[in-house]
A and B are shown apart, each in its own frame.
Chain A
């Protein structure tokens, strides 16, 4: 190379501006949010934007949105059975519909619809019941017979000879997917711009409680005083609750998912099947994204067993014979916090000033903006948001459960 020749790459554009600062933690904040995933970042965003509370830190033990936010299958829908859940998920879906404009960031939010397949007479009854419940609640929902399923998604095998024949399915046209990383980055940028400190590599090791009231947190980067603390730690919430001296009805399980290599567009919607058990969409880039049921045992390992993935692949091939030649590109696991009724816990905790946002289990991504908005309201007013009221911790004592095992759609 002669002198004066520019080396390859020298003319590439500069590194883009960072979307958020890397502040050191201050000694004290009005609000500390534990967990820098989707829910924690959304809570910070809405605390700042909807309630004017900006002296806020989000503490993340790893890197922003590197937990379940990076490990889910990005499905967004609101077709839950009970009014309480349909209301909170529909609230979230409406926020999704305005989120790209609100955050001024492309989220690749794609309302390509979701099909929930029915394979038995009981499935059909349950599905039609859920469709009718959704419509009464003002949520878009349709019952499709097998031909209707094929019209929406031609690659689903609807032949009567299938081991578990497709008898039909529910369809929510407004459901869809979004690009999880973009969602996290956009929320982080918004919170940061409002003055929120996003602090990565900062693990909470203790929660200080005095006279029944939270006063701060201890972390791997020192003690931080806090007027209020909100837990957004998903699978690790039980560990944090133990630091504050109480227990929660949560079980933390690995939940696995996988993607195929990049393929031409073949799959126009999102398909879920409880009975055969797999849920599949195709990402914008071209990977088929598929989710499994939870691994049976509790664990914090962020990995699961291979036979669970194998079962999920068998289910996918049963529904989509065309996938037989696709190759798995990678598999992974996240840790989901599952409640006894498959509904979240949002609201006050037994410790004053300490707020819960947990138990979203296998379905937290779709709730991201909704969970953030109702938790921010709850923290700001020290009063549960009206949509959060049915999801209080004391429902396990009163017996007013919100049983969503059917609509949660992931076996557990």
Chain B
């Protein structure tokens, strides 16, 4: 089980959270202007790295706020947690 550091509540068990997939995927500014390829990319393609991954979590059973985490998918090590709107860390 992951220990996830909620930026509002501190470290809590994974079971308190909901996973929200890749972070920093903006809704297209003008969806109707996208080509089929661009729309497919927005809808269906998400990062799937073996390594650091920026992702959203929601602290469902406590503060109920969404925030971002950088987690290494090869080790499950949590490298950073930051609030929505804050810039993500630079992971080398």
Contacts and interface: CB of A to CB of B under 8 A. Distances in A.
A307 B40 contact: no
Interface in A390-412: 396-399
B61 to A, nearest CB: 13
A123 B40 CA distance: 31
Contacts of B53: 298
A349 interface: no
A340 B44 contact: yes
B76 A299 contact: yes
Contacts of B44: 249, 340, 396
Given A250-B48, A297-B2, A340-B43, 9 more contacts: A236-B50, A239-B50, A251-B48, A252-B48, A307-B15, A396-B40, A397-B37, A397-B40, A399-B36
A24 interface: no
Contacts of B76: 299, 301
Contacts of A250: 48
Interface residues of A, number: 24
A298 B48 contact: yes
Contacts of A251: 21, 46, 48
A138 to B, nearest CB: 32
A146 B13 CA distance: 39
The 3 closest A-B pairs by CB, nearest first: A296-B19, A238-B48, A249-B44
A297 B48 contact: no
Nearest to B57: A297
Contacts of B18: 296
B74 interface: yes
A300 B14 CA distance: 17
A220 to B, nearest CB: 16
B2 A305 contact: yes
Contacts of B2: 297, 305
B75 interface: yes
A398 B14 contact: no
B71 A297 contact: yes
A18 B75 CA distance: 35
A56 B63 CA distance: 56
B1 interface: yes
Interface string A362-399: 00000000000000000000000000000000001111
A247 B74 CA distance: 19
Interface residues of B, number: 25
B contact face: mostly helix, strand, loop, or mixed: mixed
A266 to B, nearest CB: 31
Contacts of A249: 40, 44-46
Interface string B52-92: 01010000000000000001011110000000000000000
A263 B84 CA distance: 51
Nearest to A303: B76
Contacts of A242: 49
Nearest to A398: B36
25 contacts: A236-B50, A238-B49, A238-B50, A242-B49, A248-B48, A249-B46, A251-B46, A251-B48, A252-B48, A252-B50, A252-B73, A296-B18, A296-B19, A297-B73, A298-B53, A298-B55, A301-B75, A305-B14, A305-B15, A307-B1, A307-B13, A307-B15, A396-B43, A397-B36, A397-B37
Nearest to B39: A397
A399 B43 CA distance: 11
A301 B45 CA distance: 21
B73 A299 contact: yes
Nearest to A252: B48
B40 to A, nearest CB: 4
A298 B73 contact: yes
B48 A307 contact: no
A297 B50 contact: no
B73 A301 contact: yes
Interface string A103-119: 00000000000000000
A93 B40 CA distance: 32
A301 B77 CA distance: 11
A238 B22 CA distance: 15
Contact of B45 (A247, A296, A297, A307): A247
Interface string A204-220: 00000000000000000
A340 B48 CA distance: 13
Interface string A333-370: 00000001000000000000000000000000000000
Nearest to A307: B15
